[in-house]
């Protein structure tokens, strides 16, 4: 059974635990470089700088909507899209899927990620917060 859930024909959705397992965070440490899926954080730069998952890739939803392409490390890989609470990541996953990418969004976003005790780092690699 796939961990990717489909609702009303849109992109799948995953829990933070499923996202962590798929991106190499399942053991509570930084993502492994050989993880298949990429955690794509679509929050705004100030939110990303305050705290994000280690190894995540950043591209704000506003940049994505404006037509920005995926960062090199996220191209041609399955994407697990995350934001603060799950609203923007849902929009981004739908947009990415419409562009042909394999994308799912994370239910509950970074708030649930941090609440589950998963790692959050700031722009310098120290302990981060979810802004």
Q: What is the DSSP letter of 26?
A: T
Taking the C-alpha atoms of residue 21 and residue 12, their distance in angstroms, rounded to an integer, is 16
DSSP string across 46-90: HHHHH-B-TT-EE--HHHHHTTPPPPGGGTTS-EEEE-SSSHHHH
Instruction: Pick the closest to residue 110 from 25, 43, 23, 12 (CA basis).
Output: 43
Query: Is residue 52 annotated as part of the catalytic site, yes or no?
Result: no
Say which of 83, 92, 101, 106 is annotated catalytic: 83
Catalytic positions are 83
């Amino acid at each position: 059974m796939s961990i990717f859930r489909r609702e009303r024909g849109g992109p799948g959705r995953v829990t933070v635990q499923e996202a962590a397992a798929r991106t190499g965070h399942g053991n509570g440490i930084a993502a492994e470089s050989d993880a298949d899926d990429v955690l794509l954080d679509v929050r705004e730069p100030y939110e990303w700088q305050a705290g994000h998952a280690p190894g995540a890739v950043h591209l704000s939803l506003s940049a994505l909507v404006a037509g920005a392409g995926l960062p090199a490390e996220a191209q041609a890989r399955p994407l697990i899209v995350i934001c603060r609470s799950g609203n923007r990541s849902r929009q981004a996953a739908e947009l990415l899927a419409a562009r042909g990418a394999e994308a799912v969004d994370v239910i509950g976003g970074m708030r649930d990620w941090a609440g589950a005790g998963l790692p959050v780092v700031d722009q310098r690699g120290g302990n981060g917060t979810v802004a």
